[in-house]
């Protein structure tokens, strides 16, 4: 009975971290720290991968599967701020230019990426 309980707990823990898919088992994913390398002063808020990788070497995987951006104050998802973004993807990163905003300027954002776990 005890062995069965232990096996059930182990199986449940594995299911939390590993999810089956059509092609087999998908490796667990990890999220990076939040990065805020720029402020919206001047031209806008540039949280682009080129600069982030230079400032945080080895901390962002080569091919992130997802990017998230939220405001530094309040953690409001970028898509809920009503701003227009020049880039918001895993190839370029996140760019909000003040010149693209109809009213006001960009907010201050931070970003993080989803990567395969090491």
pLDDT digits (tens, 9 = 90+) for 49-97: 999 999 999 999 999 999 999 999 999 999 999 999 999 999 999 999 9
Which one has a higher pLDDT value, 98 or 21? 98
Sign of CA pseudo-dihedral 19, 24, 28, 29: negative
pTM of the model: 0.76
The stretch 105-117 carries a mean pLDDT of 96
- Average pLDDT score over the chain: 85
Q: In this structure, is residue 38 part of a structural domain? A: yes
Domain boundaries, position 106: 26-116
pLDDT of residue 118: 80
Distances (CA, A) of 35 to 5, 13, 18, 76: 42, 30, 27, 15
* Residue 91: CB atoms within 10 Å: 10
- Length, in residues, of the chain: 118
Kindly indicate the confidence band of residue 26, based on its pLDDT and cuts at 50, 70 and 90: low
Alpha carbon distance 44, 99 (integer Å)? 8
User: What is residue 58's predicted lDDT score, i.e. its pLDDT?
Assistant: 94
Q: Is residue 53 part of a domain?
A: yes
Work out how many domains the chain is built from and give that number. 1
Residue 104 belongs to a domain? yes
* Domain presence at residue 75: yes
């Amino acid at each position: 009975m005890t062995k069965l309980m232990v096996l059930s707990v182990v199986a449940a823990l594995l299911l939390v971290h590993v999810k089956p898919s059509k092609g087999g088992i998908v490796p667990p994913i990890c999220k990076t720290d939040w990065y805020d390398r720029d402020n919206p002063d001047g031209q806008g808020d540039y949280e682009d991968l080129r600069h982030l990788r230079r400032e945080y070497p080895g901390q962002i995987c080569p091919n992130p599967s997802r990017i998230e951006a939220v405001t530094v104050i309040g953690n409001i998802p970028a898509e809920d701020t009503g701003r227009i973004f020049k880039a918001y993807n895993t190839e370029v990163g996140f760019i909000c230019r003040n010149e693209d905003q109809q009213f006001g300027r960009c907010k201050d954002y931070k970003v993080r990426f989803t990567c395969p776990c090491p």
